Amino acid sequence: MAAVLKLYNTLTRERENFAPIDPSRVRLYVCGPTVYDFAHIGNARPLIVFDVLYRLLRELYGRKHVKYVRNITDVDDKINARAAERGISIRELTEGTNAVFQRDVSDLNCLPPDVQPRATDHISEMIGIVERLIANGHAYAADGHVLFDVPSMADYGKLSRRSLDDMVAGARVEVAPYKKGEMDFVLWKPSKEGEPGWDSPWGFGRPGWHLECSAMSHKHLGEVFDIHGGGIDLVFPHHENEIAQTRCAFGHDVMANVWMHNGFLQVEGEKMSKSLGNFVTIHELLHEEKFGGRAWKGEVLRLAMLRSHYRQPIDWTVKALEEAEKTLQRWYALLRDKKPAAGALAEAFVEALCDDLNTPGAISELHQLAKAGEADALLRAANLLGLLHDDPAAWDAKASADIDAAEVERLIEERLAARRAKNFAESDRLRDVLVGMGVKLMDAKNKQTGELETTWEVG
């Protein structure tokens, strides 16, 4: 495949030609969920974005030559608090929440990562990193805690490029007498009675949040790997601190060569928050009538998400979901009529994706393929985006249930009236409205009256 993959690197603030350390072993790590509550729609964005990247890397380098790791954080203060609030065990909370998460990501058509490590299975690796940091002069033990000594790292802050004042504010620095410097962050901390904990050289305790990803990425991908991804909100302090721990423990200039971050998501023009009543989870969108008064198919959510470039903010709206659904209905109708076999990938489609995952450009190419009736190429390209994997007949049934037949009949009558009045511009406009609803129009003259009559069907 001739296209050159270019990715925007947060570390350098530049779009760069991607060159894997070892083309036979391309390595990708993405921060996964903290399983204390259902994932919200903002959490779905990195899941979908990096699933597309994973699919593209497998296309470019071969399925056997790409390793994708997405972790599960199952030890965290939020987990402890939520389990206590609900009066259940931490294990019950994390197992139940993770089970829902796995179903949600499957419904979004995300491929399973090659490895989904759990933090609690990597405690020995975390302790090993802390011991290295202490030995290397980058961490110190104090009052049952172990902290990373931020001033010991000359270029700390390289990823986020923040001033010290901004970093202090962004980290919500905890003031504690055992800390040497206000920016020093916790690697290990003591556990109270009833809290999860493990024996360590510094006493019974548990890891700090940042340490977990350093240990899991190191174990499964090595000391330096190709790409690390996550939401823009993780740049600081989480990813900055991951870099500090890993680099100082193993003595490298980088932890990952490329750092990728997706943009924020807001709902109907406002920041998502429970206080505004616009907080919506993936599970609610898929199974409840909370957003737009109905539940949505996972593929609709996926297409709506991919219509915006991953680095740009996205406004999550009912209208966007409706438009995505109508697009899928039209594409599935083409597949139903043509009964295609997946063909070759269109060059323009691949070039768009290789341009820093330009999914809006790639989707534009899908529209062009559909317009030209090239069903084989449409199916192949859409599959690479994680779309059009369902049975077209099932989509026809779903579309029939969703379309308001009375509204269709009303619009058809208005169109016929416009044609009789020779208002062809209005007639064409109404035809486009109906097609946009997923309706296929069939015009024919009545043999007895000679007047134009219109019948319709979904698709």
**173 shares a domain with 72:** yes
For residue 215, tell me if it sits in a domain: yes
Among 189, 33, 50, CA closest to 117: 33
Tokens read off for 345: 């990938």
Q: Do 262 and 47 touch, CB atoms closer than 8 A? A: no
* Single residue among 208, 237, 262 that ends a domain in this structure: 262
Among 450, 452, 447, 445, CA closest to 419: 452
**332 shares a domain with 367:** yes
Report, as an integer, the average pLDDT of 227-240.
96
CATH number at residue 29: 3.40.50.620
**424 shares a domain with 378:** no
Q: Over 60: is that where the pLDDT of 381 sits?
A: yes
**195 shares a domain with 130:** yes
Question: CB atoms < 10 A from the CB of 160, how many?
Answer: 18
Q: Do 260 and 249 touch, CB atoms closer than 8 A? A: no
Out of 121-130, 293-302, 306-315, 403-412, pick the least confident.
403-412
When pLDDT is cut at 50, 70 and 90, the band that residue 198 belongs to is very high
- The count of structural domains within the chain is 3
For residue 13, tell me if it sits in a domain: no
* Single residue among 239, 262, 285 that ends a domain in this structure: 262
Q: Do 205 and 195 touch, CB atoms closer than 8 A? A: no
Q: Which DSSP state fits 27?
A: E
CA–CA dist 294, 304 (Å, integer):
16
How large is the angle between the packed helices 375-384 and 347-354, nearest 10 degrees?
20
**290 shares a domain with 258:** no
**What local confidence, expressed as pLDDT, does residue 95 receive?**
95
Residue 52: give the domain boundaries: 21-262
Q: Do 362 and 307 touch, CB atoms closer than 8 A? A: no
For tokens 């416009």, name the residue: 418
For residue 53, tell me if it sits in a domain: yes
This prediction has a pTM of 0.86
Out of 198-212, 314-328, 398-412, pick the least confident.
398-412
For residue 137, tell me if it sits in a domain: yes
Q: What angle do CA 23, 26, 29 make, to 5 degrees?
A: 165
**295 shares a domain with 182:** no
For residue 6, tell me if it sits in a domain: no
**377 shares a domain with 412:** no
How far, in Å, are 120, 182, 241, 244, 253 from residue 153 at the CA level?
28, 14, 11, 7, 11
**382 shares a domain with 425:** no
**What local confidence, expressed as pLDDT, does residue 203 receive?**
96
Q: Over 80: is that where the pLDDT of 43 sits?
A: yes
| Amino acid (1-letter code) at residue 329 | Q
Neighbouring-strand partners of residue 118: 72
For residue 64, tell me if it sits in a domain: yes
For residue 202, tell me if it sits in a domain: yes
CA–CA dist 348, 337 (Å, integer):
25
Among 179, 202, 177, CA closest to 189: 202
CA–CA dist 237, 34 (Å, integer):
16
For residue 38, tell me if it sits in a domain: yes
With H, G, I as helix, E, B as strand and everything else as coil, classify residue 118: strand
* Percent share of the chain, pLDDT over 90: 74
Backbone angles phi, psi at 22, to 5 degrees: -140, 105
Express each pLDDT in 63-122 by its tens digit.
999 999 999 999 999 999 999 999 999 999 999 999 999 999 999 999 999 999 999 999
Q: Tabulate helix, strand, coil % of the chain (nearest 5).
A: 45, 20, 35
Q: Which helix (H) or strand (E) holds 14?
A: strand 14-17
**99 shares a domain with 161:** yes
**288 shares a domain with 173:** no
Q: Which helix (H) or strand (E) holds 139?
A: strand 139-142
Question: CB atoms < 10 A from the CB of 224, how many?
Answer: 17
**448 shares a domain with 437:** yes
Tokens read off for 7: 């990715």
Q: Do 116 and 71 touch, CB atoms closer than 8 A? A: yes
**What local confidence, expressed as pLDDT, does residue 169 receive?**
64
Among 386, 335, 378, 300, CA closest to 58: 386
Q: Which DSSP state fits 12?
A: T
When pLDDT is cut at 50, 70 and 90, the band that residue 287 belongs to is very high
CA–CA dist 374, 234 (Å, integer):
41
CA–CA dist 242, 114 (Å, integer):
21
**239 shares a domain with 269:** no
* Single residue among 203, 235, 262 that ends a domain in this structure: 262
Q: Indicate the length of the chain as a whole number.
A: 459
